[in-house]
Chains A and B, each alone.
Chain A
Amino acid sequence: MKKTFSFTILLACFLSAAFFACQDHTVNPGTPGGTTTPGSTTGTTGTSSTVDLASSLTVTAIMSSSATTNTTCASATGLAKIVCLTEAFKATLSSTQLSTVQLTYSLANAQKWSNLPANLSARYGLNLASLNTAQLTAFRNLMVAVQGLGTANEGYDELLGNLVADNYLYSNGGGAGYGAGNFFVSIVGTPSTTGTWEILYTGHHYTQPYTFNGPAGSGYTPAFRGVEPTSVVSNTATNQSYQPMEQERLAFAAMLTALSTSEQTTAKLSGTYSDLVLAPGKDWQFPTAKSGLQVGSLSSDKQALVLNAIKLYVNDLDATTAATVLAKYTSELANTYIAYSGSTSVTAQNDYIRIDGPSVWIEFSYQGGVVIRNTPHPHSVWRDHTTDYGGTK
């Protein structure tokens, strides 16, 4: 009996060992249904953000002023002032927040933007809902300094209108991935007047980067503009009304409808465009050949209409910066091309416009509604052939 028993103990050990050794063959922990996650758009890093409406309304209320409260940077000018205001914003943050908002400079960090709400595409940095009043005010002081002021639905006012529109989406079927609290700020690289660094502000329908290369120049693209709804939205804090992209749409329609029939034929693209071509993620892929109609072949009044459309992007920047950029685009206007697909009135889904110059690249796509179904809404991107990401490739 003893012998039999020790044999069974031995057998027990052997079989148990064999079982555990084979366990990954015999037991599959996966559920057999194996559901794939459709449209998994969140990256492996960054923050997927959802925020309640009250927080987004608080953010919007604090952002609803274009007056600066900063006095310490008042004497500084140009890039030194932006560095000063960025440092002033950083000074209000806790060490944890600081480590989240301050990234090292790299193209990969700069490319972390999207036209999707932050619950579907993660961003780096801090979302506005996580900032307290003092921090948000310091951030506002920075944005007011780098944005154009004084024109309705342009510059800082357009940025604000975009927050208000996203709050509207929250309450009209969009949910907690939408709203002002889900917009992000990150500082990519160390702020300085000499090195390369970037302020990246990115949310659902609005992304604006500012890349500084010291004396070598700066870049303000790729910048994304869009909006849903296209109808008028109202800021509950101020009762101010916004329609952030309507001027752009009208400017493109004016530019296209002014063209003669033969000019329109030349400008018309054979393809259909249901979205932007150089959408988020399609960096440094400018077409080698330009399509459409050369602006230099147009009468000066029609050329002015092209420049008007370009201004609605460039003049979102502070007046000094905008003037520099616009001077460059104006000097290149004759060699810039315009093209479109769909209708010239820019009213229908798949209406598409492109402005492609030696430097400037602007696309505008009127596309199917997402939260507000069956109503087209605009997506638009402004890029620059040489200064996208401040020239970082």
Chain B
Amino acid sequence: MIFTGILMGFASLQPVWAHPMPNSVVLLNIHADRIDAELQIPLVELQSAWGHAVNDSSAGLVERLGPQLRDYLKSHIRPQSPDGRFWTVSVGDLTIHESQNPIVGVYRELTAQVQMVPPAGEDVRQFTFHYDAVLHQVRTHKILVSVRQDWAGGQLAEAEPAQVGEISLDIVNDRLLPLAVNLASGSTWTGFWSMVKLGTQHIAEGTDHLLFLLVLLLPAPLLVAGRRWGPFGGVGRGSIRLLQIVSAFTLGHSLTLLLGALGWVRLPGQPVEILIAVSILVSALHAMRPLFPGRETWVAAGFGLIHGLAFAGTLSNLQLDAGPMALSILGFNLGIELMQLLVILLTMPWLMLLSRTPTYTYVRNGGALLAGVAAIAWIVERLTERPNAVTHLLEAERTHVGWLLAGLALLAGWASWKNSRSASVKKPIL
């Protein structure tokens, strides 16, 4: 799945009656010992507050006025702990880009990465946020403060930012008040658990990961007969093959998830996503005719390495410190395994049952054909970076997977019943 869109989604929220001027946005990423904040400040309002024609000539602004901008922001961002001590604030990357909302249309804004560190021993979760950039001068300006990520509080950047409050003029008393930030206490357990949930969600929504695994498992219960798939190889043998394939896939993706999340291996998203679609196509072909009989374990491990890189992309987007990152890798992977296990438990009994019947040839080839079509559609989508009719359909039908499973169960029941009747006529054993 391509998750890059999530981080871009948050734009300036407007109240019901609206304001024709764009507002500032402050997005907080809560770490154990500091807060990283991203500020989004519309240049038209910054110019009204600070001058320097920042909006009229925004080209080369950061090169031209970087140090002054950092000083300006630093003097207007002053978090304060309950004991009265102020935090250490440093301003990092500054970028200029275009933003848009339906009321004002396209406008340019400054994005600043700011680090806020409380004095030693002070909590990052309780502070008074003295923030009045732009607002110190432009009395009609508004600053929306949200938490984008709070690992220990169980909130991940995957979800929509949680609004903490708004900093704006107290009109009645004509004064500017700081914003009191009191985040509910967090814990390592909460952070870990939210990663487990994210892992399960990732597999549940990641149709491509699931499809790869299921298609690879389709011929697992069968014996090879020459260049074709043969009859059922027995429950014991089938279960062992299944276990081997799943374990190999897990081993593969765990390895690259770890390496990728730690930043040791980094591949661009697009080729990884394309390779994942290719992995489905290969295992679909294999499910029709044995391409690599007996070596499914190695293939599963190999493609596992690729799927792991996609999982890692999700984690490296979170920008976590080492400790939480280690726990996140563990929790995320655990979630993936749990969901994988659930899917296998829900599907494999039916496939095992079916594989003892003649009907299975159709199920296996039909399933493989559908998976192959889906894989090709994904390859095209990921090459062209444009969704097509098939991927649209897959996305829409994703929620109906329960019916598919029920259908599979019914089919398995019916085929077994029919088979047991014909079998009991021919050779009354068992």
Contact = CB atoms under 8 A, between A and B. Distances in A.
Interface of A: 1-2, 4-5, 8-9, 11-12, 15-16, 18-20, 22-23, 25-29, 31-36, 38-41, 43, 114-116, 120-121, 271-282, 285-289, 291, 350, 365, 367-368, 370, 373, 379
B18 interface: yes
A282 B171 CA distance: 9
Contacts of B380: none
Contacts of A9: 413
B138 to A, nearest CB: 5
A121 B19 CA distance: 11
Given A120-B103, A278-B171, A285-B172, A33 B402 contact: no
30 contacts: A1-B430, A5-B416, A9-B413, A12-B350, A12-B412, A15-B345, A26-B200, A26-B342, A27-B205, A27-B399, A28-B204, A28-B205, A31-B395, A32-B1, A35-B5, A39-B13, A39-B102, A41-B16, A41-B102, A114-B17, A115-B17, A121-B18, A274-B45, A274-B140, A281-B17, A291-B174, A365-B140, A368-B21, A368-B44, A370-B105
Contacts of B409: 12, 15-16
B18 A116 contact: yes
Interface centre among B174, B200, B353, B405 (most CB of A within 10 A): B174
A28 B395 CA distance: 11
Interface centre among B17, B49, B104, B406 (most CB of A within 10 A): B17
A33 B10 CA distance: 11
Contacts of A33: 5-6, 9
Contacts of A282: 171
A115 B412 contact: no
A123 B220 CA distance: 62
Given A20-B402, A370-B103, A8 B416 contact: yes
A370 B104 contact: yes
Given A38-B13, A275-B140, A32 B205 contact: yes
B138 A272 contact: yes
Interface stretch (B74-82, B236-244, B316-324, B417-425): B417-425
A215 to B, nearest CB: 31
Contacts of B2: 32
B14 A39 contact: yes
B13 A40 contact: yes
A39 B103 contact: yes
B402 A19 contact: yes
Given A32-B6, A40-B14, A5 B140 contact: no
B160 interface: yes
Contacts of A276: 140
A288 B204 CA distance: 56
Contact of A272 (B19, B49, B105, B417): B49
B137 interface: yes
Contacts of B103: 39, 41, 116, 120, 370
A268 to B, nearest CB: 13
B11 interface: yes
A278 B17 CA distance: 12
